Amino acid sequence: MSERGEPTTDTAASRDRTDPADTFDTQYAVESVDAVDRVESATEAFVAHRNLLFTVAYEMLGSAADAEDVLQETWLRWASVDLDTVRDKRAFLVRIATRQALDRLRALGRRRESYVGPWLPEPLLTAPDVAEDVELADSVSMAMLLVLETLSPTERAVFVLREVFDLDYDEIAEAVGKSQAAVRQIAHRARAHVAARRPRGMASPAETQAALHAFRRAVETGDLQSLLDILAPDVVALSDGGGIKHALLQPIVGVRQVARLLAVRWWRRDAERSVEVVQINGGPGLLVRVNGEIDGVLAMRIENGYVTGVYHVRNPEKLSHVEREIAVSR
């Protein structure tokens, strides 16, 4: 107390005393900033590799819708990871996406057993520069995705990660939960399986364009002879309506059978129809509209200047990714 009876202030003691609330607020602010930084860092890495992750999932699943779901699941798991423990963010993200895609692929295999008619991959409208990367374009093509459908889920994952994205065997082993020795054996087996079934003859860009435009003119006019001239002798035609739209229930094989199908049966001549040349899955394709609405997508495999494969997707549930370009990358 002072001589006048007023309380004195111990400034040194006052400086030493800290309000617990002030400590809490400061700590909370620091933790909040750290949390924001972690989210921003995780988001930056995810966005940087998003197209790659989508492509990995799509090549494993053959479905853009399912690949998008895998991306969502990958993000949820990635957002909870302690990034301080991650040496290679790209490899870690690919591992998460691969595991999610494998789980989904096993479930999808059971659903496809009851699919009505032939199953075709969900088509993508891709940018012109995809075709310039020959290996990437081949890996997302309808023909290759159909070949990959004949592999087991693990074989498909190993083949995609090794042959398309060139991941090391140790990275693939972590992604699929196998030893490196097992992964090497699986990769060898899958490679041999795909090599025996993949398209062999490559067409030059000039041959591809010539065949595509000749094919378009032929189907628009119903000119049977022109179709006979452009189709390969062993051409195969498949269509996918998913039980919703009219489509073939079995593949059609042979030049005359496919030409007759294209000239007479596949096109509604009484409707207002337009055919637009587009790039589907890194290769030549046609986007078909009937009365202004998208009716289907027709993708082609062209080898040595001839059409060897025709893939017609009419299932409306598979046409949502042909209205805008989808980015794929390696």
- DSSP of 75-140, one letter per residue? HHHHTTS-GGG-S-HHHHHHHHHHHHHHHHHHHHHHHHTT-SS---PPP-BB-HHHHHSHHHHHHH
The CA distance from 287 to 294, in Å, is 7
Query: In this structure, are residues 227 and 259 in contact, taking their beta carbons and an 8 Å threshold?
Result: yes
Query: In this structure, are residues 211 and 308 in contact, taking their beta carbons and an 8 Å threshold?
Result: no
Number of H helices, E strands in the chain: 14, 6
Query: In this structure, are residues 118 and 251 in contact, taking their beta carbons and an 8 Å threshold?
Result: yes
Residues 6+ apart with CB under 8 A from 63: 108, 121, 122, 318
Two structure tokens written together for 225: 């002879």
Query: What pLDDT is recorded for position 36?
Result: 73
Q: Angle of helix 50-61 relative to helix 64-78, nearest 10 degrees?
A: 130
Query: What pLDDT is recorded for position 313?
Result: 96
pTM, two decimals, is 0.86
Two structure tokens written together for 46: 């995810």
CB atoms within 10 A of CB 138: 17
Residues with pLDDT less than 50, the chain: 1-6, 9, 12, 14-15, 24, 28-30
